[in-house]
Structure 1
Amino acid sequence: MKTNLKKISQLYTNMTLPVKASMWYLACSVLQKAIGFLTTPIFTRVMGTSDFGVVSMYNSWEAILTVLCTLYLYNGVYNNAMIEYKSDKDGFTSSMQTLTTILSLIVFSVLFVFYRQLADVIGLSKPIMLLMMIDIVFSAGMSFWSIRNRYEYKYKSVAVFTILSSLLMPALSVILVLNSAEHKAEARILGTVITHVIVYGIVYFLNLTRGKKAVDLKYWKYGIKFNLPLIPHYLSSTIMTQSDRVLINTLCGSSAAGIYSISTNVTSIMNIVTVSINQAVTPWIYEMLEAKKMKEIGKNVYKIVSLVGVGFVLTSFIVPEVIGVLAPSEYKSAIWATPPLLIGMFMYFIYCNFGNVEIYFHKQNAMLFSSVTVAVINIILDYILIQKYGYIAASYATMVSYYIYAGLHYMFMSRVCKEKKVENPFNASVIIVMTIVFSVLIMCPALFYRVVLLRYSILAVLCIICLLWAIKNRDFILQLISKKRV
């Protein structure tokens, strides 16, 4: 045992700084999502479906308004600035942070002025909106600081603050909710905001004191000019993931939004897996594109998509039990919204492979067009279907939207390959067949959600088949897990 621990310690010590940093950032990301997932059963049992829906709405609107309040200045432009203004990184950081603070004040001032007209759409009280503004301001400061430290591989401080926030936030929120008789949604939101003010507040003021440059119009102009054209893409992508809950709240009420949000919590399990796999595969795809080994890309990506697809199918089989653990019986109807959402996420994973090719060849405009187009389609479908069939229909609108999303990106990727005179790494017929097969397999378990014995018998057979396949392809799986070249 001691020998094994010594080997692990030595292996960690011998890792390069970028590898250590990547490992810790991934661990922190998984920890944040895992704690959020694990604390869901607590909150669903101490809060009603309506209160849970209010919190879901708060998260959706915060995600949308963050784009407008921050212009995502801590994304694309910030990394470029770390090179272009490397002699004044602190000054650029503090200046951008001040800009996001001012933008937040402007956006929320407009919302408060027209609150009476927007109240029914937003579905949140003024005090909650005020808490949201505070949260966005301090969270933006944390984003600038963490990305700056990630850029310089200073992972230790980021890990400490992330872990501290991840542990303090649910603990404080649970205490506040349990001690609140009527305003449980507000109590949970307050727990989040207080945590961010305490933890992120330290970072916020650290950015200001180090930068000593709260306002620099040159930096402001540079940041706005760079990121403003990207806002439609950022906003559309956010709307794609949040509009269903907003419209459900508006058309069906906060209780329905709360039940629906449990379905999205289930899909978040697979999101952790797919994001990790995509991060592992993307560098290899770039290497193959550089070497023009197009057939190698398709051959291996088909295997990876199949592996991920099986994961989605197996997850679909246990949806009733997962939701039973996450929430009490009031949320039971969420099981019917989950399979279409799983299909939507599976299609998103397929799209990522097409998107990697587009990004490699610098075709961001194609991504922008796809994002905006599908976001509009998704809102229209949500509005029509939710009114006619209820909130469960929103999951089918999401599924259809992601089919279109993947289709558009395949079309643009094919066009890029023709322009660059390279072979298309993906065969349309193979992609279509895989899409149909796995869509059917993910939906089928819903037919047996009420027949537990039959469902688990089928699941057992599938698990045996998957195990045999895994044994046969163990080398490929081990390479994928270890992030070596596939």
Structure 2
Amino acid sequence: MAGKNKDASLNKRAFTSGFFFILAQLFARGLTFAVTPIYSRLLTQAQYGIVRTYESWLLIAYTVMSLCLWRSVDVAKNDFEEDYNGYVSSVHTLSYIAIAFFFGICMIFKTQVQDFCQMDDLMFYSCFLYVFTYTSMLYVQRRDKQVLKYKFSTMATLLTIVPGTFLSIWLIYRGRVQGLVDQLVDRRVIGYYVPQIIGGAIVAIVIWTQGKKFINLKYWKYGLAFSLPLIPEALSIQIMNQSDKIMIQKMISNEAAGIFALATTISFIIWILEDSVWNAWIPWLYAKISQGEEKEVAKPWTSVMHMFGILSWVIVMLAPEAIAILGPAKYRPAVWLIAPMVSGTLFRFYSYSYSALQNYYKRTQYVAAGTIGTMVLNVILNYVCILNFGYMAAAYTTAFSYIILLLVQGILEHKITGMVIVPLRKTLLIAVVYGAINLLSMNLYKVAWYFRYAVLILVVAAAAIALRKQMAAVLKMFKKRK
């Protein structure tokens, strides 16, 4: 009875914290999506491309400079439960030391770095301040997720993203009214990132105050042993996600990068949901693994894969209307990028179930090896295909690279751990089927809109009926009580 009560309590807390975590992520990131129509109309197409490419550089920068030590927070909960806050505080300090070191290197080669990344002084210094403070946000989000709490990290997320979003819009608008069109990019950087930098700095102080440890060599050694092998993997993922915009900017134009970036905003919808669900799912998954109950994961995870496969198709079907809302007529070509982009994010999501087990058993070097190989393939394909077929080819090469990543991670999981959460053959079949459906559905853009909507309504209704029991079981799994 005590064991059942413990499981019920775990599931209840996981559901509550996971629900609020998902809600905060959906709101914060969804706000970014919601204001895209404003940015795309206030900024020129070239400026929009510059802003989105700058975001790509930030994502790559924090991945490398923080040494990915925040990822060790997920597994440290089990090993340092008696001093978990102390662990987080200590490795957080180490991340700051690493970022300061990289900042010093970049200062030495400041001119070269700015030229290569196409940043002015404001963008350059804002980049490093953001990397410092966003790293703190990552620490507190992962810490609170592991202890199944949500209030502080949720409020920290909302109170940085929301003010930054609206302040940046106001500054850009005032710049246009005052005729300062050439300053709009800098105004966006100031408005959007300064509130996040201030909020992240406060979070950093809270982490140190609660943990009360700045230096602990034992914790540093543990964090480095887990996280250093993950840097190539995490960097590879970011390069796969961001290199297309950067390469398009350099090989084609800022305008083409802007169109491509607007399309990624659509795929960002499913990306937000996938990452939010996974972040809420993984504490429960690791608890099941630690209890030797891996066999209980396959059935609900398969239902989740189908749910997101159908969701990806819905997004593809609504792409023409979504693009029309997000940007003016000059962004219309972006509609042909949605299906491959959404399919790529879907394949990436499916691969999580395989890399998760390797991360749990701290076999992170193998996760990195598979991801690095896939990243190299993606960059080569991007270069060759953009050069020969234009910027739209990058969406297809990235989708292809993600399904290769799925295959590699599935094979590695079985060979390294001797365990399988979900059979690879089943996952590949589901991925290929939904990917093919998404691409073939682009033909419906050529018919009357009401025919496309009729197909959409019929399929969604049929899927809801077919999957209602499975999805109810997934929700019950988290809400289960004694």
Bin of the TM-score, shorter chain as denominator length = 0.7 to 0.9
Equivalent residue, structure 1, for 2:139: 144
Tell me, what secondary structure is at the counterpart of 1:204?
helix
Which one is further off, 364-373 or 469-478? 469-478
Number of residue pairs aligned between Structure 1 and Structure 2: 465
Equivalent residue, structure 2, for 1:461: 455
The Cα shift of 1:214 comes to 4.6
Which residues in structure 2 correspond to 1:211-250 (within 5 Å)? 214=214, 219-250=219-250
Tell me, what secondary structure is at the counterpart of 2:69?
coil
CA, structure 1 residues 81+159, in 2 after alignment: closer, same or farther (shift >3 Å)? Answer: closer
Equivalent residue, structure 2, for 1:52: 48
Equivalent residue, structure 2, for 1:196: 196
Tell me, what secondary structure is at the counterpart of 2:35?
helix
The Cα shift of 1:467 comes to 1.1
CA, structure 1 residues 106+313, in 2 after alignment: closer, same or farther (shift >3 Å)? Answer: same
Higher relative contact order by CA 8 Å / sep ≥ 6: 1 or 2? 2
The Cα shift of 1:308 comes to 2.6
Equivalent residue, structure 2, for 1:128: 123
1:471 aligned to which of 444, 465, 474: 465
Tell me if 1:257 matches 2:253: no
TM-score, with structure 1 as normaliser: 0.84
The Cα shift of 1:217 comes to 5.5
CA-to-partner distance for each residue in 1:101-143, whole Å, 9 max, x for gaps? 3322321332233244444531222320111111111222333
Equivalent residue, structure 2, for 1:158: 153
Amino acid at match of 1:137: F
* Distance in 2, Cα, partners of 1:366 & 1:478: 35
Contact 1:53 1:254 in 2 (8 A): yes
CA, structure 1 residues 77+206, in 2 after alignment: closer, same or farther (shift >3 Å)? Answer: closer
Amino acid at match of 1:270: I
2:168 aligned to which of 160, 173, 179: 173
Which residues in structure 2 correspond to 1:4-403 (within 5 Å)? 17-77=13-73, 80=76, 83-84=79-80, 86-87=82-83, 89-90=85-86, 92-180=87-175, 181=180, 182-208=182-208, 214=214, 219-278=219-278, 283=284, 287=288, 290-291=292-293, 293=295, 297=298, 302-356=302-356, 358-359=358-359, 363-403=363-403
Which protein has the larger Cα radius of gyration, Structure 1 or Structure 2?
1
Amino acid at match of 2:107: F
RMSD: 3.4
Contact 1:165 1:196 in 2 (8 A): yes
Tell me, what secondary structure is at the counterpart of 1:333?
helix
CA, structure 1 residues 303+88, in 2 after alignment: closer, same or farther (shift >3 Å)? Answer: closer
CA, structure 1 residues 353+78, in 2 after alignment: closer, same or farther (shift >3 Å)? Answer: closer
CA-to-partner distance for each residue in 1:4-33, whole Å, 9 max, x for gaps? xxxxxxxxxxx9555433332222111111
CA-to-partner distance for each residue in 1:294-326, whole Å, 9 max, x for gaps? 9x93x6655543343222222111111101111
Contact 1:286 1:360 in 2 (8 A): no
CA, structure 1 residues 223+305, in 2 after alignment: closer, same or farther (shift >3 Å)? Answer: closer
Amino acid at match of 1:44: S
Contact 2:26 2:272 in 1 (8 A): yes
Q: Percent of aligned positions with the same letter in both sequences? A: 24
Amino acid at match of 1:171: F
CA, structure 1 residues 163+243, in 2 after alignment: closer, same or farther (shift >3 Å)? Answer: same
CA, structure 1 residues 352+118, in 2 after alignment: closer, same or farther (shift >3 Å)? Answer: same
* Distance in 2, Cα, partners of 1:144 & 1:171: 25
Structure 2 alignment gaps of length 5 or more: 1-10
Tell me, what secondary structure is at the counterpart of 1:391?
coil
Contact 1:479 1:485 in 2 (8 A): no
The Cα shift of 1:383 comes to 1.5
Amino acid at match of 1:384: V
Equivalent residue, structure 2, for 1:5: none
Consecutive aligned runs of 4 or more in structure 1 exceeding 6 Å deviation: none
